[in-house]
Chain A
Amino acid sequence: MSGRLKLNRRRFLKTAGAAIAAPYFIPSRVFSAPGRPGANERVIVALIGAGGRGNSLTKEMKRSEIGHEAEIGAICDVDENRLRSSLRDYEAGVMPYRDYRYILERKDIDAVILGTPDHWHAVQTVHAAECGKHIYVEKPACCTIEEGKAMVKAVNNAKVACQVGSQGRSQREAYLAHRYLVNGNVGHISKVWCFHYASPADNNPVPDSDPPAELDWDFWLGPLRWRPYNRKYLPGSFRWMMESGGGQIRDRGAHVMSCAMWWMGADGTGPTEIEATNVRFPTQGVWDACIDMTVTYTFKNPDWVMIWDQKGDSLNPDAPRGEKRVAGEDEISREGYGAIYHGDKGTFTHWGGDGGTWAERKAREWVPPAGFKDVYKSPGHFEDWFEGIKSGAKTIMNIEAAVGVANLTVLGNLSAVLGRKIQWDQAKGEIVGDEEARRLMGRPQRYPYCL
């Protein structure tokens, strides 16, 4: 939907009048039905957050089946050096921005990929939706319960396609695992034990300092309350700040628990009680996310528990090692996380859960009998997003599902921070019986970086 737009016949007939008067660069909105490109049109995408992850997302998109349908129209970052160096990964003429809001004003941009730190996900998703942009936002969706509610509302009001980056759901072996489980091969599942290794501690803390000249610290902080710059906060290490990344439970929990909620048919449901135990916090530095933690989520009707168990330097000592694969099979390169599903007829294990998801052999070798129950097979995470953009279909990791998973991680951390159980009312989307915890369902945001 750019100047390089190839008009198909249907589209040509529909828009000929406008095209005659159009300049060389034809904004997408000149031609399209409100916000929804046609089947043969290119989608102009902007990358917001041109760091390591953001740039790899655009590469993944270009490599995917829909790569030829996508064009990068702009990139954005609050670090001038990073922005400058990222430009070389794209085509000539791609516009660089520090302020994502310039991108949202551009009528020719159809969609945005948000590769920013977690504390920006909600605000930028809401703003992008309000401007009619389709959204691919990295996981976890939100940092607070209230952010999640605002994201769902904004995306639904705008009727845009939103895909959240828990791409485990779109992996081939995830499909095999899902199919295996829903066909009762391990029986009724009463427990899902998610394993992961620990979050890191900072053993070399540094004092706060002035930010480097190339970094817009105010903009990096965005909605977070102000604090002095410390070089341990970024770039990737925002992951270990409770207010932003929230540690492994929010990083990989948003993958492993995403698979669990999908395969258990539990999207849209939630636990009644959340309790963090075995919690170990860092003893120094600015990283404050839990090093070790065990979080138990109790679900009712149907009754089951999910446990997030995070410990060990590079491997959870209680976790199974990655299954040996034979020649020609996809090697398990991330055995440090995954889950075991405990049913009344057996167990099932998977490793990974993100862009690498590996199912135990018995699920891979299972031959479905006649009349088996099949499940949705994603064509790929970006492909599924583009299908949502073009047809309006719900994406596999849609905003409701993603907020549901992010809420699990938020509530787990909240229980750890407060040192007590949390009672949760899923229907209302609220914590009950604990005034302090209720106040922490949201956090006021700095103006103008607010929902």
Chain B
Amino acid sequence: MSAKKWKGAAIATAAISAALASTAKAADALSLDELIAKIRDKNDKVRAEAMFGAGKVGARAVKPLAEVMATDADFEIARAARRAMWQIVRSVGRPGADRERKATVAELLPLVGEGRPAAVRREAMWMLSEIAGDEAVAPAAAVLKDKELREDARMVLQRLPGEKSLAALKAGLAAAPEDFKPNIASSLRARGVETPGIPNERRVPKKSTDVKPLDEAQLEKEKAAKTPRRRGNKQ
């Protein structure tokens, strides 16, 4: 066999192997309907099968799972849907899965927008923070205007790499109300940008207690009283 033919045969063999592997993977994967049905199951073991199998179903399951997360009245089913979405994100974030990653990012982006429940928007933003690039910057930056979610948006922009997210943080700082400027400035500092004139209050005490110190007499009285069971965990 000539070198050229050998190379050709090797490529063909590799292609067949890849196709077989892909088929085997598909055979292992749940269908989308099966996935959603199992996520909605009352039995946690059945839900777990779906949760931990969601990565193989991939991007097309993102939106239906978000729907379950947003609408199912059973808190455990909603949690299972959220965890299944995370399984997809962690699966498509693996090296070499760029096409799957981009497809998942495309499904997550609309979930960040207004009109969705805050819990879904928050979760989608954090998912994007792990796997998205510049395409997530504008949707996250838009959330800086939302008082309930702006802190999450600010942190997500901090994590998204590149100049575009940095520019969005700078623009966000300029547009932010006074009470939120220190938050955005903290992200800029974390990204290596100086923010003169904006207070950094991370070490400024703000929260007072109503508990008062005990004097000798009070301490004696307290010690005489029965000691309640203390909660805690040994380290």
User: Could you tell me which A residues sit within 8 Å of B by CB distance?
Assistant: 51-53, 55-56, 80, 82-85, 87-88, 91-99, 101-102, 104-105, 123, 127, 130-131, 138-139, 165, 205, 207-208, 216, 219, 225-226, 235-237, 239, 251, 281, 283-286, 288, 354, 417-420, 433-437, 439-440, 442-451
- B58 CB–A CB distance under 8 Å: no
Set of chain B residues within 8 Å of A92, measured between Cβ atoms: 213-216, 218-219
- B142 CB–A CB distance under 8 Å: no
- B106 CB–A CB distance under 8 Å: no
- Whether B212 lies near A96 (C-beta < 8 A) is yes
Expressed in whole angstroms, the minimum distance between the Cβ of B103 and any Cβ of chain A is 15
Query: Which of A85, A105, A288, A419 makes the CB contact (< 8 A) with B55?
Result: A419
Set of chain A residues within 8 Å of B183, measured between Cβ atoms: 447
- Whether B207 lies near A219 (C-beta < 8 A) is yes
- Whether A130 lies near B94 (C-beta < 8 A) is no
- Whether B90 lies near A417 (C-beta < 8 A) is yes
- B5 CB–A CB distance under 8 Å: no
- Whether B233 lies near A236 (C-beta < 8 A) is yes
Query: Which of B190, B203, B211, B234 makes the CB contact (< 8 A) with A127?
Result: B203
Set of chain B residues within 8 Å of A123, measured between Cβ atoms: 202
Expressed in whole angstroms, the minimum distance between the Cβ of A449 and any Cβ of chain B is 7
CA–CA, A96 and B13, complex, Å: 72
Set of chain A residues within 8 Å of B131, measured between Cβ atoms: 436
23 contacts between A and B (CB under 8 A): A52-B231, A80-B210, A83-B211, A87-B211, A88-B222, A92-B214, A99-B205, A123-B202, A130-B203, A208-B75, A225-B122, A236-B232, A236-B233, A237-B233, A251-B235, A283-B45, A284-B44, A285-B79, A418-B90, A419-B91, A439-B159, A439-B161, A440-B130
- Whether B235 lies near A439 (C-beta < 8 A) is no
Query: Which of B95, B130, B161, B213 makes the CB contact (< 8 A) with A96?
Result: B213
CA–CA, A281 and B79, complex, Å: 14
- Whether A80 lies near B211 (C-beta < 8 A) is yes
- Whether B94 lies near A444 (C-beta < 8 A) is no
- B32 CB–A CB distance under 8 Å: no
Within 8 A of A (CB), among B148-174: 151-152, 154-156, 158-159, 161
Known A104-B203, A439-B159, A444-B158; judge A98-B209 contact (CB<8 A): yes
CA–CA, A433 and B93, complex, Å: 12
Within 8 A of A (CB), among B24-47: 44-45, 47
Expressed in whole angstroms, the minimum distance between the Cβ of B161 and any Cβ of chain A is 8
